[in-house]
Amino acid sequence: MIYLIGDLQGCCDALDRLLATLDFSPSRDRLYVLGDLVNRGPCSRRTLHVLRGFGDAATCLLGNHDLHLLAVAHGVRPLHRSDTVRDILDAPDRDELLDWLRQQRMAVQAHGWLMVHAGVAPAWDAALTLQLAGEVEAALRSPEAGDFFHAMYGNEPARWSDDLQGHDRLRNAVNTLTRLRFCTPDGHMDFAAKDGADQAPPGHLPWFEVPGRKTAGVPIAFGHWSTLGLINRPDLLALDTGCVWGGQLTAARIDGGRREIIQVPCQQAQKPG
């Protein structure tokens, strides 16, 4: 069986319940976890141990919280008051866990689905999405990863251009893949609005509703947007259903031409605001 799973954010008890509900077996099944593996929930270290233990049976994407952990570990960013990744940073196997995290993916196309953590720019087709994801992955795994983290933060350039190079190119790719919710029809991204799709800033749309986007017709699965809730369309799966906020942890079974949504309730670990 093939399962896609929404944001975990260190809620390993919920992951355990979901895997039991699925009767998941790493010898038989495949997991694709759509990013934000850690942070804000109570068990970030254990979550990484569980996923890492599945080996090739689990493919994990990196979300903004995962990149934040790596930046903190490189001394580039401070811990925030709401961060719950100290259990990883203080762990005796810290280096092994962080190295494993750096090897994870920014985007994947498999089983008929393009998978990202947050979104895809209107000007990107699937091939360019995977190409840019690969460029970010190479930067994360390089000996100069610290330089990458120093340059990763910032909101500009807020619109994709084929002329982008260097850190500007990688920063735009990271922001698109891990932070995007709303953008204008020509692709300018807004990073302040975090409400549902009906609360778009003036002149903006949810990225997946932009007319003429180049991935129209490509089935895309993503997480990141808990206030959006579950979307289960033929061409779109939004699977962040607010586990860390006391919502649900959601999986979508996509194999064999059939689709099934499986959810388990989650204990609230963080309160909005």
Domain-embedded: residue 271: no
Q: Is residue 142 part of a domain?
A: yes
Look at the chain and report how many structural domains it folds into: 1
Answer whether residue 270 is part of any domain.
no
- How far separated are the first and last CA of the chain, in Å rounded? 38
Query: What is the predicted pLDDT for the residue at 257?
Result: 75
Query: Coil, strand or helix: which one is 81?
Result: coil
Rounded average pLDDT over 177-182 = 98
- Per-residue pLDDT tens digits for 250-263: 999 998 778 999 99
- Classify residue 215: in a domain, yes or no: yes
Please give the pLDDT value at position 262: 98
Q: Is residue 272 part of a domain?
A: no
pLDDT given at position 43: 97
- Across the range 149-167, mean pLDDT stands at 97
In a domain, 231, yes or no: yes
User: Residue 256: what pLDDT?
Assistant: 75
- Which whole number is the average pLDDT over 27-46? 97
Share of the chain above pLDDT 70, in %: 100
**Confidence class of residue 273 from pLDDT cuts 50, 70 and 90?**
low
Whole-number pLDDT of residue 92: 98
* Mean pLDDT of the 163-185 span: 98
Side by side, the strands of the sheet bearing 107-110 are: 107-110, 113-116, 220-222, 236-238, 231-233
Domain at 220, CATH number = 3.60.21.10
* Residues 141 and 102 sit within 8 Å (Cβ to Cβ): yes
Could you tell me the CA-to-CA distances from 268 to 14, 80, 129, 224, 243 in Å, in that order? 11, 19, 34, 17, 7
Q: pLDDT tens for residues 218-240?
A: 999 999 999 999 999 999 999 99
Which residues constitute the domain of residue 109?
Answer: 2-265
Q: pLDDT tens, 57-109?
A: 999 999 999 999 999 999 999 999 999 999 999 999 999 999 999 999 999 99
113 within a domain of the structure (yes/no): yes
Q: Is residue 273 part of a domain?
A: no
Q: What average pLDDT does the structure give for the chain?
A: 96
In this predicted structure, the answer to whether residue 184 has a pLDDT above a threshold of 70 is: yes
Please check the confidence at residue 116 and state whether its pLDDT lies above 90.
yes
pLDDT band at 272 (very low <50, low <70, confident <90, very high): confident
Tell me, what DSSP letter sits at residue 241? Answer: -
